[in-house]
Amino acid sequence: MFYQRWFKQRWILVVIGLAIADTVLSIWIGQQSYRWVPPQASAESILVDDLFCLMTTVGSLIFFGVVGTLVYSMIFQRSPKYDTSDGPPIEGNLKLEVIWTVIPSIVIVGIAFASYQTYDRMEILGDIGPKSLGMATANAAPMTAEVVKTDPIEVRARQWAWEFYYPEQAVSSTELHLPVNQRANLKLTSEDVLHGFFVPAFRIKQDIIPGREIDFEFTPIREGRYRVRDSDYSGTYFAANQSTVVVESAAAYQDWLAMAAAQSPTPAQNRAYREFQRSRENPNSQGWATVEPAAPPVVNYASSDEESYE
Amino acid sequence: MSNASLEALQPSLQPQPGAPDNWKRFFTFSTDHKVIGIQYIVTAFVFFLFAGLLAMVMRGELLTPEADLVDRTVYNGLFTMHGTLMLFMWTFPMLNGLANYLVPLMIGARDMAFPRLNAAAFWLVPVFGVILTASFFIPGGPSQSGWWAYPPVSLQNPTGNLINGQSMWILAVALSGISSIMGAVNIVTTIFRMRAPGMGWFKMPVFCWTVLAAQLIQLFGLPALTAGAVMLLFDLTVGTSFFNPELGGDPVLYQHFFWFYSHPAVYVIILPIFGVFSEIFPVYSRKPLFGYPVVAVSSLVITGLSGIVWVHHMFASGTPGWMRMLFMFSTMTISVPTGIKVFAWVATVWGGKIRLNTPMLFALGGLIMWVFAGITGIMLASAPFDIHVNNTYFVVGHFHYVIYGAVVMGFYAAIYHWFPKMTGRMYYEGLGKLHFVLTFIGANLNFFPMHPAGLMGMPRRVASYDPEFAFWNVLASLGGFLLGVSTLPFLLNMLSSWARGPEAGDNPWRAIGLEWMVSSPPPHENFDEIPVVVSRPYGYGSDEPLVANASEKE
Amino acid sequence: MAMAATNRWLQTHLRRSDPVSTTNVDQSLEVATVHAGEHEEEDNRMFGFIVFLLSESVIFLSFFVGYIVYKLSSAEWYPAGFEGLEVREPLINTIVLVSSSFVIYFAERFLHKENLWGFRIFWLLTMAMGSFFLFGQAVEWLHLPFGFKDGLFGGTFYLLTGFHGLHVLTGVLLQGVMLGRSFIPNNYAGGEYGVNATSIFWHFVDVIWIILFILIYVWR
């Protein structure tokens, strides 16, 4: 009698101990998750990383719980070789089934709510509809105190080059320069097919839809050079369609704008165009027919695509 | 009917469908559901190997950051055809094969409701398989727009020919849709109307539930893809403006049409595998399926929910914020019925008398990989996080854990489990276990490194990448080659066992189910006398008999 | 030894062998759908056909959704210089097609009462009305000032009416086959699955047309 109760209690203790171990392990893995992503270079990235940490922690808890149970069964509950008997005919347990319906539901609602809040605080996306619908959703006047807004930087995507145009200074560039700690406003347009504006260090991404102008915004918070990648498959030279975003102090940013404005437009280097010309000259080219890349953009500031980034 | 009853009078003249001595049957327009089932599975597996080879060339290209092994156009054609073939030529036909073979046997029917329609649906598969394969050899090569075929890239047609990779792709997908609808009508009718006496809904094996749930998705989802494909074909060939932004069309509408079907399509693929898990765990744990009615019904709940989640593929596309939030919530709800199933399987295994035969190993391995995929799936459902990893290798890793980790492993589990029934022969356990080890290691080595690469920001569908991703890509490539190798012991095992394996007997696993009560391979028309079902399935550990018929089989 | 154990196990787990208990079983039957006779098979085909039609309706639904989205979002909906569709003739067409649904119903009733000539006359009338609709549609197409490639309206208009017209044509052809089969002696003595299915298909085509008419001609 006593032994039975002791045995039962010991089981409860073991289960509690394992649950604590699972929790500790999961929290540790959750903390590791910050190291799996690029440096946090935008305000949005902090929000997204916190959310990712939360989901990694909860996910690890579930994963190790479920897999641990399975592995325990596989190791310790094996049938002896010549034992043909059956296990206990347990067909279900209402209480248990209710528990594993209700608790995951609550967890899911929690994650969904956290995600909603994160998305709400990011506020990256402006008007997205087709051009003709734009009028219906445009706000009459900005609600915030900051009435004077700079014109958004135009991001022009094409097969296969990025071109960034600063309308106030009439500066064009193949490299995106942004001042640190200021809200960056972009207007995303595409001249041909779908592209995607993706800066991993900022944790932001937006498909660019030909025929639409998409307002997009975020806040860089860390100086440095980061990669801009085309994220929505855009044809033959899709993988080569990359550029650099440079985040710098407000002063350096203004200097750069002034310097670029003073330069006369020159054709930039363009990897897709270069590769295409090379393959056209090569008689042994093994490729199939492709859409011709657009000529390299003619810009005030042309970066070399070999330049480094973080 | 008159034909069939004549045949039934002379059962001895009917060759057994699975026996090795009448392989010629598999090359005829047979209307026997068991022949058609095996035809489907074998055809699908051939294309699985072919599309796997394409993937290995891709992994070869990705060994190094530069685009050096194949031309970029070739790489783009490879990943497009890899995805297309794997979905339309491997998963759908393979699962239709399993459903074809097992459903009539499991519900106690002599055949499918429409045997000739069944054969016609199957024989369309090689037709569009050949069309897809042939597109490699036409000027301009196969479609290079990805298996989504998003316009405007899919409309660009650099060759200018009417017959190009993209138009052949659309033709093949349309034929696949027709074949799938024919199959779905047949399977749904069979399950609704041909169950043996006594087999009420809650005496039906879960595999049949999941097949029903999956085929219902085909019925409501595929037509949307067909509609989108028809409009895309007109844009491409006639020059209409539906999805062409230059002419005022809307490319995002295509994405809605596409994903309205193609997200539920992954449930078409995974649901029958849930069914396989639900059949296998009780047999090798010697315990009833835990919470059978809930597991059964949750399949239909998933079917219902799958119709309202498609926009989660478009969180970074031309979708407004409210739509992203709405579909984020709807997507997350799907994890609840899925979670119920996972917990029910764990509870089924728990405390059982477990036997780690090859089918059980594959099912357990598949379940573990599925749990991982489910967790990354919830992460991807979260819109703000998805915006970071959308269209990166994180997504590629996630769905390969689903499609390879759960579906292909589940398929292997099913094949090993029902191989003795299909052929009357036993496979070699040692080779089976070797196959499992290679597959499990290969799959994880191939697909796990894709997650960190994606988190770091490596886009999917790239022929070249920045050097920072090289480490993970080398690992993934090694895993990919290992997966290629892993199919060899399987092929060896299947071929040699089918030809010369030891006799298996009617029920080598001591499993409970109507299919295990007939001979192996089952006779033509399956049952001499239709069984009368009196119990729930999975009556392990209890003494309740499954059927009431007094007569013995032979 | 293992074989013997297996057999014993099978005895207890799979098959109840004492005949007494089967009587209990018969009372507990939930469904009895075996021994597929002629009638059973016809019912299966009808069930399958209705499932197919439900699935088919989703294609139309998708086209309708496409039409609505395009119409709501495009700036210039009609091709330049085009004011809108003429409604009068299509309305006559609509009335003819919708009435044919009632005519085909009477044809079916006649067949049910085994009045073959009544069936044939009304069936032929349905075919005539369907053909009239197709003819009217063709005339309309020929006189329209825009083509398939003229913008989103042109594209969706021809897509919807064309796809529907294809269904009407299929319906008329099916009706022709059924009419021909009515001359085979005793062909419709047992069941008349083909006739019933054609009739359901015809009602389906009508309902689709009503939605289509409202969307394209009535909704401005």
Whether the CB of B347 is below 8 Å from some CB of chain A: the reply is yes
Residue linked to tokens 């499609």 = B403
Cβ distance of C47 and B189 shorter than 8 Å: yes
Higher per-residue confidence, B411 vs B1: B411
Whether the CB of B250 is below 8 Å from some CB of chain A: the reply is yes
Whether the CB of B49 is below 8 Å from some CB of chain A: the reply is no
- Residue C11 resides in a domain: no
Cβ distance of B463 and A193 shorter than 8 Å: no
- Residue C82 resides in a domain: yes
Give the pLDDT confidence of A117-167 residue by residue, as tens digits: 999 998 887 766 554 333 333 333 333 334 446 789 999 999 999 999 999
User: What is the b/e burial string over B273-290, where b = at least 16 CB atoms within 10 angstroms of the residue's CB?
Assistant: bbbbbbbbbbbbbbbbbb
pLDDT value of residue A1: 55
- B83 pLDDT above the threshold of 70: yes
- Assign a CATH topology to domain A150-299: Immunoglobulin-like (2.60.40)
- The stretch C154-171 carries a mean pLDDT of 95
In chain B, residues with a C-beta closer than 8 Å to the C-beta of C17 are 550
- Residue B112 resides in a domain: yes
pLDDT value of residue A203: 95
> Which residues form the domain of C63?
53-218
Higher per-residue confidence, B45 vs A137: B45
3-state secondary structure B445-461: HHHCCHHHHHHHCCECC
- Residue B287 resides in a domain: yes
Using CB atoms, list chains with 3+ pairs below 8 Å to chain B: A, C
pLDDT value of residue A128: 61
pLDDT value of residue C23: 40
Please tell me the total count of domains within chain C.
Answer: 1
Residue C190, CA distances (Å) to C106, C114, C117, C194 in order:
19, 11, 17, 12
Whether the CB of B251 is below 8 Å from some CB of chain A: the reply is yes
- C14 pLDDT above the threshold of 80: no
> Which residues form the domain of B100?
25-517
pLDDT value of residue A124: 81
Comparing CB atoms, the residue among A73, A205, A207 nearest residue B318 is A207
- The stretch C90-98 carries a mean pLDDT of 94
The complex's ipTM? 0.92
pLDDT value of residue C43: 85
- Residue B528 resides in a domain: no
Please tell me the total count of domains within chain B.
Answer: 1
- Residue B283 resides in a domain: yes
> Could you tell me which chain B residue has the CA closest to the CA of C156?
B242
Residue B287, CA distances (Å) to A83, A204, B251, B292 in order:
14, 49, 52, 12
Residue A136, CA distances (Å) to A128, B252, B394 in order:
12, 19, 37
Higher per-residue confidence, C81 vs B140: B140
Higher per-residue confidence, B13 vs C75: C75
- B196 closest CA partner among A113, A235, A29, C34: C34
- Mutation target to probe the B interface, by most B beta carbons within 10 A, among C45, C51, C73 is C51
- Residue B219 resides in a domain: yes
- Residue B370 resides in a domain: yes
Q: Where are the alpha helices (DSSP H) in B307-353?
A: 321-333, 335-349
Q: What is the CATH number of the domain that holds B113?
A: 1.20.210.10
Which of A161-165, C35-39, C117-121 is least confident?
C35-39
In chain B, the percentage of residues whose pLDDT exceeds 70 is 95
pLDDT value of residue C40: 78
- Residue B101 resides in a domain: yes
pLDDT value of residue C8: 53
- Per-block average pLDDT, block size 10, for chain A (310 residues)? 69 91 95 95 95 96 95 92 87 92 94 94 72 36 45 93 93 94 94 95 95 92 94 94 94 94 91 90 82 92 69
Domain borders along chain A are 2-75+97-122, 150-299
- Residue C25 resides in a domain: no
Whether the CB of A131 is below 8 Å from some CB of chain C: the reply is yes
- Residue B553 resides in a domain: no
Give the pLDDT confidence of B423-480 residue by residue, as tens digits: 999 999 999 999 999 999 999 999 999 999 999 999 999 999 999 999 999 999 999 9
In the chain, the amino acid numbered B374 is: G
In the chain, the amino acid numbered B226 is: T
- C174 pLDDT above the threshold of 70: yes
Higher per-residue confidence, C89 vs B45: B45
A165 three-class SS: strand
- C26 pLDDT above the threshold of 60: no
The rounded distance, in Å, linking the Cα atoms of C202 and C212 is 15
Q: What is the CATH number of the domain that holds C103?
A: 1.20.120.80
> Could you tell me which chain A residue has the CA closest to the CA of B75?
A236
pLDDT value of residue B115: 94
pLDDT value of residue B171: 95
Using CB atoms, list chains with 3+ pairs below 8 Å to chain C: A, B
Give the pLDDT confidence of B375-424 residue by residue, as tens digits: 999 999 999 999 999 999 999 999 999 999 999 999 999 999 999 999 99
Q: pLDDT confidence of C19, banded at 50, 70, 90? A: very low
